[in-house]
Structure 1
């Protein structure tokens, strides 16, 4: 919007010549359109596994007791402080005063108790119920105080409470969050045009620092070519996870744009169904891992962006162990292992969800497997179908997906998780890790956990998904990295 000030007759000619008179000025833009490749299946982060849910609502609409910052630090959110008992079993959270939900109702300790008890209930649909497994009881001491007692010490408890799956909701609106999300964040849900976009608007009664944006629209553009056209035309102002890395050099050469390259928590894997023959044979899983050339996939599917990994852990984490050499590209070894397993002319299904890294990477992997005598029959599936058929029904041999949840190696301790590892020794390592708070001991156990899943060739570990984004050069405050699956708009603003 343009604001004009009157230039009066008293302005001197000298001032006019020097350009010191008040001139028309443009106010900074206060709305933004953000591109996303995948549309969320619903908008309830406590009842869905899709990363796209958190990409819209995390920190924007919903908040937890704690939250992640742009650099991955865990900081206070709805809890302004907390006390931890000496035995590490009791956490007393002191809640912020004056917080309201977007429907105007007040936030208090009963909402925290309801949300956590709901998430850990036997019939809970929370995709990350394991986050709450160590909670023994939740007590609303008074309106501003919550006491959570654990059954055993958990060194990651405050970290776990920062996940999108642990946000606080009100009992009055919990049943309709999927289509009408009501949270305590700086933006309130406005509209959802299915197949197109979700719009959020600034919440005037927000308890914290008000955002500088009045409106955020998340625009869903699954096709990389269409995404490129939308950014170039200005129909999309920012695309934090741009799906066509081959276009980044063109954006870099254009002063209208800023290219943002960072890291994510996305361990990208060729997941294998460990309980389905013949993939229940470690030799076959090892053969598949040795058939794969990680760098060729990174170059071909991501145009050189991405970091090779040899286990399910982020390379930027100080506890990462580089195990890529253990499953190095070695077609001869792959053939030898297949021979030892007594297998030849093996045919496996390969189900690929929509992201470009999966579709492009899948074609490359299929060609690499073919070289060692394995035929991968590719089926492209939409995201909802992948969640239903692969993630829930476990109806697959191979699939490619990025696990973007923060430090999520604990998924390998879940017997019913979709790749069905179910190993007692690994679960024992994780159990010990969860009880350990000493940093040095935790580092040792994390290394042990990484080596265990690499030794067992649970999956073929490909690369750490990069965060390659593009934005209008006048936009500031976007996260360069993705310590969690989020497009946090709370500190984003335009400059003149």
Structure 2
């Protein structure tokens, strides 16, 4: 980006000196405005309705696909395709008025019928279980007129509108006949251009965008399996942004403020040591408690994540309204862990498979945990799986594991533990009841019930919440508009610009 601008300036100076006697200034072609972003966690596919994983919305949400309402950098719900919306007194009927200027990249208007068609697809059997679950509370979806959509819920829900800011609420172009898993079609400021699998995804400006024009002609997300290679690319001037520094130990490499700007914030990314509750040994509460007591999570953060990150004790980050500090529910106590294993009749001979994704936090955290569990008598078979394909196949889909480590970055995802068919296999009727009551109750009841649910999860050692990922973004100094906190699944390009 900086080289392109420099060449453009040199060209202007040379032309001015050669043609100074001319009365009409020469026409100089504007350099292309490009943005190069380093990233990890490549998508498994491009249709976020039918494909699981956070990699797809990271690139496409708010950039290629838009929603009726969206999350801002502080977690507030703002208008997007809908210019306004109202709710009935009992909070079961939502009426959305579409922005009359909204158009798909194809030039077709975003109409109520298009929204209805998208939403019916989003809640169909073609969708992933996770997406379908966000639509369970919806009864009917109707187009009142060309610009008005009415959605009726079967009961009041505190969570539903929030869910519509994410992948479950995207609106797709109904006129497109291509496979959305290979050719996304939305209304956002950028259009999908190309995907070189294993390497990069390129977006190009939607020149007919109905909102604020995109600030770049093209944006490329470049994927790095080795985070050190991404840092090297940034240091050598090949990147404008590291979207999340996944080797926090390397932050000092970017200490020169004349060359780099470091933005530090928080995320919703709970790094979870997940248990397969279908594994007989892990159905014993004492074994799960022992594993929690056996792991020194502060030392884990230092060893695996450069001391960056926040200790948490349940599936709730500090940015959620119902957060309580539960990080000391199971303090590091290897002797207590040994006693619990003995009480459960598993003082020796317990062997568990720990299958981790080959994401930056996975292998180092896996090795650290394996060593600590072996100290209390648990034999750990550590297996590193390629992410996303191999991990999604064996762990997420086939439940072929005993323990795993993965960051769950979806906002307000406490309710994931209420689904017994989810890959953890956690089935607790009391927890499920609390989630249902929280969603249907008043906002005050929602906070109280979700706090109770989070405490139940912690006490039941449903998992071991290792730490909350920090959000560390590195940019060149000319980049502005970076959102320090990653509170949605999107890497939102609409706020980012390059200073001239």
Aligned to 1:475: 479
Aligned to 2:89: 86
Work out the CA distance in 2 between the residues paired with 1:265 and 1:49: 17
Q: 1:305 to 1:420 in 2, by over 3 A?
A: same
Match for residue 179 of structure 2 among 172, 176, 184 = 176
Q: Secondary structure at the match of 1:308?
A: coil
Match for residue 75 of structure 2 among 68, 72, 89 = 72
CA deviations over 1:419-442 (Å, ceiling 9, x no partner): 11111111100110110233x222
Over the residues paired in the alignment, what is the CA RMSD in angstroms?
A: 2.0
Aligned to 1:14: none
Work out the CA distance in 1 between the residues paired with 2:480 and 2:298: 33
Question: Is 1:443 paired with 2:457?
Answer: no
Work out the CA distance in 1 between the residues paired with 2:379 and 2:178: 45
Whether contact under 8 Å (1:28, 1:495) holds in the other structure is: no
Question: Is 1:460 paired with 2:464?
Answer: yes
Match for residue 362 of structure 1 among 366, 371, 379 = 366
Question: Is 1:391 paired with 2:396?
Answer: yes
Aligned to 1:35: 38
Indicate the larger mover: 372-381 or 319-328: 319-328
Aligned to 2:499: 495
CA deviations over 1:62-86 (Å, ceiling 9, x no partner): 0111111112111111111111011
Aligned to 2:430: 425
Q: 1:487 to 1:123 in 2, by over 3 A?
A: closer
CA deviations over 1:468-493 (Å, ceiling 9, x no partner): 12111111112211001221111211
Q: Secondary structure at the match of 2:67?
A: coil
Match for residue 52 of structure 1 among 32, 46, 55 = 55
CA drift at 1:112: 1.1
Question: Is 1:244 paired with 2:247?
Answer: yes
Indicate the larger mover: 363-372 or 161-170: 161-170
Q: Secondary structure at the match of 1:43?
A: coil
Aligned to 1:349: 353
CA deviations over 1:237-274 (Å, ceiling 9, x no partner): 10111222111112123521111211110011100011
Question: Is 1:229 paired with 2:245?
Answer: no
Work out the CA distance in 2 between the residues paired with 1:394 and 1:107: 40
Q: Secondary structure at the match of 1:396?
A: coil
Indicate the larger mover: 77-86 or 38-47: 38-47
CA drift at 1:171: 3.2
* TM value normalised by structure 2: 0.93
CA drift at 1:170: 2.7
State how 1:204-283 maps to structure 2 within 5 Å: 204-253=207-256, 255-283=258-286
Whether contact under 8 Å (2:102, 2:210) holds in the other structure is: yes
Moved over 6 A (4+): 7-10, 25-29
Work out the CA distance in 2 between the residues paired with 1:352 and 1:466: 20
Q: 1:339 to 1:145 in 2, by over 3 A?
A: same
Whether contact under 8 Å (1:28, 1:494) holds in the other structure is: no
Question: Is 1:331 paired with 2:323?
Answer: no
CA drift at 1:9: 8.2
Q: Secondary structure at the match of 2:246?
A: coil
Q: Secondary structure at the match of 1:328?
A: coil
Structure 1's unaligned 5+ residue stretches are 11-21
Indicate the larger mover: 26-35 or 272-281: 26-35
Q: Secondary structure at the match of 1:290?
A: helix
CA deviations over 1:167-202 (Å, ceiling 9, x no partner): 011334376111100100000111111221111111
Work out the CA distance in 2 between the residues paired with 1:259 and 1:482: 15
CA deviations over 1:332-382 (Å, ceiling 9, x no partner): 110111011001231100011022111111111111111100111110001
Q: 1:119 to 1:368 in 2, by over 3 A?
A: same
Work out the CA distance in 1 between the residues paired with 2:379 and 2:311: 24
Work out the CA distance in 1 between the residues paired with 2:488 and 2:203: 20
Structure 2's unaligned 5+ residue stretches are none
Q: 1:205 to 1:348 in 2, by over 3 A?
A: same
Work out the CA distance in 2 between the residues paired with 1:256 and 1:164: 35
Match for residue 490 of structure 2 among 473, 486, 490 = 486
Match for residue 296 of structure 2 among 272, 293, 298 = 293
Whether contact under 8 Å (2:166, 2:489) holds in the other structure is: no
Question: Is 1:159 paired with 2:159?
Answer: no
Aligned to 1:376: 380
Whether contact under 8 Å (1:30, 1:493) holds in the other structure is: no
May I ask how many residue pairs the two structures share in their alignment? 483
Q: Secondary structure at the match of 1:83?
A: strand
Q: 1:176 to 1:253 in 2, by over 3 A?
A: same
